[in-house]
Amino acid sequence: MLFLILTSMLSCKKNFLDVTPKDQISDNTVWATTDNADLFLNSIYGSIPGPFNTFDPEENYSDDCMDGINPVRSRQIYANSVYTPSNAPTYWGVYSYIRKCNLFIEKVTASKLPGTWKQLRLAETRFLRAYLYMLLWTRYGGVPIITDVLNSSVQGDAIFRSRNTLDETFKFITDECAGAANDLPIKATVAGRVTKGAALALKGWCELFNASPLHNPDNNKTKWALAAATNKQVMDLNVYSLFPDYETMFYEENNNNVESIFAKAYLGGTSIGGSREGIQGPTFANGVQHAYGMINPSQEIVDSYSMANGLPIADPASGYDPQNPYVNREKRFYQSIVYDGSFWLGSEMLTRQGVGSKNQLDLSGGSGVTKTGYYLRKGLNPKYAVNGINMLNSASYMVFRYAEVLLSYAEAQNEAVGPDESVYQAINKVRIRSELPSLTAGLSQDQMRAEIRRERRVELAFEEKRWYDLIRWKIAEKSLNGSLHAMKIEQVNGQWVYSIIPAPGGGRTFYANKNYYWPIPQSAMDKNSKLIQNPNY
């Protein structure tokens, strides 16, 4: 499986900077035609990480969910903050794909391939390389910026580079995005290829991250204004809009829809399709195991969904009843969460105690059944769920979509100038799509910030976005210390009673003095004496 191969490469301990190039053998064929060169570039597109075929998606590093199985990295290593340079989760292996980008750029630049094709494909590759550097920068801070093709047999120890600064790495990424955007089309001639909107979305995302408290402790408004301006550029392209149906937007039949800006493709029907339903979906349906339940939504994310009237459940006027908690909730709740009494594959999903359900909340923490009282629904296509891990699904993973751009613009603009009319317009578009009323006028900047953060959490739930937000807002020390929570439903004196309890195995620890950055892998440190480890590892 391609993704499993990728995952093993990302966690491998070898030094990806020291790779003997094999291009000498294939130069005469790889760089001779656009078709052959495209095959090489397509392999780089395929290197973009995606969450669909992994048994422990990074969403489980956040406070929105946990893995239903105990011996996984998110619960054993990350959640307990016992990771070290030797056992930490790592993205250092993307340097192997950065090298492929560098090789493509070098060879294509020197080739005799058509000029217009070269200009376009080089811009695509610069975007892909910038995206890979974003994965490193958001996790490690400043990293070595390598744009040449390294060859230890020729360069010796010169292949080892020191870390660039945080600001240098940020500038490299955003400059590459800006340069690539100039040469990319507004609409791709081939579905799935990089566009101007994708380059600007990546640039705007990095600027938003850089403007946030982690990198902007003095709250420099100029940084926020820059992020707002770039996200506004994406909006002003007038090629993206909100897909009308939030639920089916993530299905394969709606790949490359009007909301999708950049997505990782899964071919489907082969060994490299998606198998999200069988890995992450509800464990049992109709008494038969269909999946592994690798995403158990937390009570924390469930409580973030508002009521249908748009009010948060903590608002006394919302009508929320803690003993009837799933009634009159907003539409996205029902489209995203499997809860007690809901249906999946035609089966009523009962997580309550004492009714003989195989999906009963696992209080022991020892089985593969839900640890929170909830399962994932969002993005899962029932027609694939019946066959378990089938890898037939060709639904793409949307890395950037228009709703995120609207919310990023709203956040940046609110921080830069306050909640002006454009902030309301951006966030209300997202709310109205899910049949929520527009926000009340007259909110303060602090009130609007809270609304944007809640809206972002709910709208982008389970899309591998929450961890980034916890880190950049510098609230991980609050959200990832203590325990995630579960809903326990039991009969007391003939009445069903709903109680929020700590989720079995849901304990979390986060050390503010070091965990906002991941450690540089010890294997890289051992081979490259120029690297300096992140603090306190």
Q: The pTM is what?
A: 0.93
Question: Cα separation of 243 and 500, whole Å?
Answer: 35
Inform me whether the pLDDT recorded for 1 exceeds 60.
Answer: no
Provide the residue type at 364 as one letter: S
Other Cβ atoms less than 10 A from the Cβ of 117: the count is 14
231 — phi, psi (to 5°)? -65, -35
**C-alpha to C-alpha distance for 136 and 527, rounded to whole angstroms:** 19
pLDDT band at 474 (very low <50, low <70, confident <90, very high): very high
Whether residue 5 has pLDDT greater than 50: no
448 against 269, higher pLDDT: 448
Is 12 a residue whose pLDDT tops 70?
Answer: no
* Residue 265: strand, helix, or coil: coil
> How many CB atoms neighbour CB 269 within 10 A?
12
Confidence of residue 18 (pLDDT cuts 50, 70, 90): very low
% of the chain beyond a pLDDT of 70: 95
pLDDT for 21 beyond 70:
no
Angle (CA) 96 522 518, round 5°: 80
pLDDT at residue number 9: 33
**H/E/C letters for each residue in 381-419?**
CHHHHCCCCCCCECCCEEEEEHHHHHHHHHHHHHHHHCC
CA-based nearest residue to 291, from 271, 303, 308, 277: 277
The predicted-structure confidence for 366-416, as pLDDT tens digits, reads as follows 788 999 999 999 999 999 998 778 889 999 999 999 999 999 999 999 999
Mean pLDDT of 261-286: 92
Phi, psi of 513, rounded to the nearest 5 degrees: -80, -5
φ/ψ of 38, rounded to 5, equals -65, -35
- Per-residue pLDDT of 185-232, as tens digits, reads 999 989 899 999 999 999 999 999 999 999 999 999 999 999 999 999
Q: 220-224 — which CB contacts under 8 Å span 24+ positions?
A: 221/415, 221/416, 221/417, 224/412, 224/413, 224/415, 224/416
Q: How confident is the model over 144-153, as a mean pLDDT?
A: 93
Give backbone dihedrals phi and psi of 389, rounded to 5 degrees, phi first.
-80, 90
Q: Which domains does the chain have, with CATH numbers?
A: 2-50+79-236 (1.25.40.390), 51-78+266-395+480-537 (no CATH)
Judge whether residue 24 has pLDDT over 50: no
* CA dist., res. 323 & res. 136, Å (int): 45
The sign of the torsion formed by the CA atoms of 9, 118, 29, 17 equals negative
Give 26's pLDDT tier (boundaries 50, 70, 90): low
Average pLDDT in the 298-320 region?
A: 98
Q: How many CB atoms lie within 10 A of CB 497?
A: 13
Show the tokens assigned to 159.
């292949």
Q: Helices 445-459 & 402-417, crossing angle to 10 degrees?
A: 160
Give mean pLDDT, residues 94-122.
97
Which has the minimum average pLDDT: 24-38, 177-191, 236-250, 410-424? 24-38
| Cα torsion angle, 53, 96, 460, 363, sign | positive
Task: Name which of 493, 484, 494, 497 is nearest 352 in CA terms.
Answer: 497
For residue 160, pLDDT beyond 90: yes
Q: Which helix (H) or strand (E) holds 23?
A: helix 23-30
Residue 498 contacts residue 336 (beta carbons within 8 Å) = no
Long-range contacts at 177-184 (CB < 8 A, ≥ 24 apart): 177/127, 177/130, 177/202, 177/203, 177/206, 178/203, 179/123, 179/126, 180/123, 180/124, 180/126, 180/127, 180/130, 181/123, 182/123, 183/119, 183/120, 183/122, 183/123, 184/120, 184/123, 184/124, 184/127
- d(Cα 6, Cα 48) in Å, to the nearest integer? 9
* Statement: residue 329 has pLDDT above 50: yes
User: What tens digit of pLDDT does each residue of 450-471 get?
Assistant: 999 999 999 999 999 999 999 9
Say if CB 94 and CB 135 are below 8 A apart.
yes
pLDDT at 2 over 70: no
pLDDT tens, residue by residue, 332-374 = 999 999 999 999 999 999 999 999 999 999 998 778 899 999 9
Is the pLDDT score of 23 beyond 50? no
Cα dihedral 486, 492, 497, 499, rounded to 10, equals: -30
DSSP code for 78: I
For the cut 60, the answer to whether the pLDDT of residue 162 exceeds it is: yes
Q: Is the pLDDT of residue 274 over 70?
A: yes
